[in-house]
A and B are shown apart, each in its own frame.
Chain A
Amino acid sequence: MPPGVPFAEPVPVQIELLEQGSSLWKDAWFRLKKNRVALLGLWTFLLIAVVCFAGPFFTGFSYESTEITLKASAPLERILSKTQLRKVGEAKETYLALSNLEDEFLEKSVAERRAIVKQVESGDEFREGNVTYRLSKQRHFFGTDPLGRDLLTRVLVGGRISLAVGFAATVVSMVIGVIWGVVAGFAGGKVDTIMMRSVDVLYALPFTVVVILLMVTFGRNFVLLFVAIGAVEWLNMSRIVRGQIIALKNQEFIEAAISLGLSARRIMFRHLIPNVMGSIIIYATLTVPNVMLLEAVLSFLGLGVQPPLSSWGVLIDEGSRTMETSIWLLFFPAIFFSLTLFSLNFLGDGLRDALDPKASKD
């Protein structure tokens, strides 16, 4: 989230009573289904999520084992295996890209090198001493990173991390933000002022310092990462929720509940929160991409996920540094990242439109 984004977007308020709640959701779902773009967003996102969580089991590569002789090979480039017989019966197999085969024979003449390349390319094997080069069946759909790791697997695994961080941080921020905002909005007066001024203060705090502090004090694990991010995101959530609650507070059904003597907790949890659920869900859907962006920025600063685990943020950062020589390292993670953000944003927009009672007039 860029500094200074309070996300004070207009969000509709549900003013229908609880008994009619179910039909509100049915209506909303119906309207959402008609919104093709939002639906597309929903399905795209689900697809990406499924692929990221299940995909790595099927790619045939590991996300962490390095193959440094392979280096950064282009997508679908031919891979060769180099078998080296060290002792009797003990062979060491490494892999390299076809385009790097020439580098192995820099002492030979150019013509000789070309001949060797041609020979191996055509399917024959080339043997020199105890080393054999031949084509292997390995295919990397997205290419490899500079340490020879399959990019497709890394992107999918990175997706797991990014999505996990996104959702976990959002849940954390939701819980804190909603409770804070409901209490502030409902209590009003001095309590409200103090609570919201605290939000202002926390907002001005340097995010980096907070994260460094948390990362360092409690050790580096990525569970902590989403707690740290969530701890920053809840501020906006609380502002939105508070605004909604204030609008709701003056409705008759709440006045009725108060005059009936219902406890404040009951009112908050059973009457207020369910009625702002719509905004909460919308905002949550829109927070996830912000969190993912934040995590990417942290990686840019070197404070993100630990290697060999990777996230889209780390992959994009690494990729943008080798943009001129290996653009696939940037392209594929960026595509996945952007697609996910796109889908979630469209979905969130669609939800907002769908839950807006005024839209039904058209």
Chain B
Amino acid sequence: MIKVIAGRLLQLIPVLWVILTLTFFMTKIVPGGPFSAERQATPEVIAQLNAYYGLDKPVWQQYLGYLSKVVRFDFGPSYTYQSESVNEVIARAFPISLQIGTLAFFIALIIGVTAGVVAAVNKNKLWDYLPMSIAMLGICLPTFVLGPVLALVFGLILKLAPVSGWYGLNYVPLHPMVMPAVTLGLFYAAYIARLTRGGMLDILNQDFIRTARAKGVPEHEIIFRHAMRGGLLPVVAFLGPSFAGLISGSFVVEKVFNVPGLGQEFIKSVFNRDYPLILGTVLFFGALIVIFNLVSDVVQALLDPRSRK
């Protein structure tokens, strides 16, 4: 087991290297540079800035230079935030996305699993269609629609949550992380509900459940003690990558609620052609995804001996 984990962690390195290389060259191909503005600066200034940031060197040299800094965990200066380095930007933006993501994760988990189990147990009856339909709403309403609606209702009309910002908003009862987390959580809850329902249905149809029922084991014990362990397997497979996705920040909710998280930084960096910040955040996301894939695989293996290699 330890060997497998170590092996997978080692695989992180080539994977991240490929991500870095691909992204680096992609950003070089996209037109538009970091210094173009509506009021053009003179060619000398642009040349000066390019020289300062090393953008006038041949691409291969830039790439190797960047690589050598990355292995020392130095992601370079940000072009957008002129007095901050990329490390500093990630360090200040990530905790915000982390808070929102974690809360969203738990919201999604609780609502999703509950809805899925209820639906599975009441298959093809009202209590199957009802939670599944509501879950479907979560999938079918994009976050950039649900977000403003929730902002309108909870922010303006009910005055329970702030509509913008993160710091110093203590005049409303809800912390600024709540509404973004709810918006995001509902979306993922829908997927989790479907996965749970599917997994539970598979398990509930199996022979050992019939046996338990025939033996007179009470229904709730069947569900909670026997079925859920296997039924939640597909959910676990999904949880890893979804947690990574959640905490890397959904730029849509961050934009709608104007919270300074990492998702917004990433999108802005792409639009500003802030190459170091783009690369830094991409590597960061990539590492998160790979690590959390690993975590969910490990948990899966622990829960289900069959999937152990």
Contact = CB atoms under 8 A, between A and B. Distances in A.
Interface of A: 2-10, 37, 197, 200-201, 203-206, 208-210, 212-213, 216-217, 289, 293, 296-297, 300-301, 313, 316-317, 320, 323-324, 330, 334, 337-338, 341-342, 345-346, 349, 352, 358-359, 361-362
Give the 10 A-B residue pairs with the shortest CB-CB distance, closest first.
A4-B245, A3-B245, A4-B241, A204-B286, A341-B140, A338-B140, A8-B237, A4-B242, A204-B289, A201-B18
A37 B30 contact: no
Given A4-B245, A320-B148, A209 B137 contact: no
B192 to A, nearest CB: 10
Given A5-B238, A201-B15, A342-B136, A297 B270 contact: no
B196 to A, nearest CB: 10
Nearest to A352: B198
Nearest to B237: A8
Given A338-B141, A361-B205, A204 B136 contact: no
B141 A324 contact: no
A10 B22 contact: no
Given A201-B286, A205-B282, 10 more contacts: A3-B244, A4-B243, A5-B191, A5-B242, A8-B238, A200-B289, A206-B282, A217-B29, A293-B142, A362-B205
A345 B139 contact: yes
Contact of A337 (B19, B140, B244, B252): B140
Given A209-B270, A323-B149, A345 B136 contact: yes
Given A204-B285, A217-B29, A301 B244 contact: no
A112 B239 CA distance: 66
Nearest to B239: A4
B103 interface: no
A6 B242 CA distance: 8
Interface string B9-35: 001001100110011001101110000
Contacts of B289: 3-4, 200, 203-204
Contact of A6 (B198, B238, B282): B238
B267 A316 contact: no
Contacts of A9: 194-195, 198, 234
Contacts of A296: 142, 144
Nearest to B292: A4
Contacts of B27: 209
Contacts of A10: 198-199, 202, 234
A8 B248 CA distance: 21
A201 B19 contact: yes
B92 to A, nearest CB: 20
B178 interface: no
Contacts of A210: 26
Nearest to B18: A201
Contacts of B242: 2, 4-5
28 contacts: A2-B250, A3-B246, A4-B241, A5-B241, A5-B242, A6-B237, A10-B234, A200-B290, A204-B15, A204-B285, A204-B289, A206-B270, A208-B267, A208-B270, A212-B270, A216-B31, A293-B139, A297-B142, A313-B142, A320-B149, A323-B149, A334-B141, A338-B140, A342-B133, A345-B139, A352-B198, A361-B205, A362-B205
B257 interface: no
A289 to B, nearest CB: 7
Interface in B18-58: 18-19, 22-23, 26-27, 29-31
A4 B242 CA distance: 4
A320 B245 contact: no
B252 A300 contact: yes
Contacts of B293: 200
Contacts of B129: 37
A216 B30 contact: yes
A2 B244 CA distance: 11
B217 interface: no
Contacts of A324: 152
B201 to A, nearest CB: 9
A353 to B, nearest CB: 9
Interface in B240-289: 240-246, 248, 250, 252, 266-267, 270, 278, 281-282, 285-286, 289
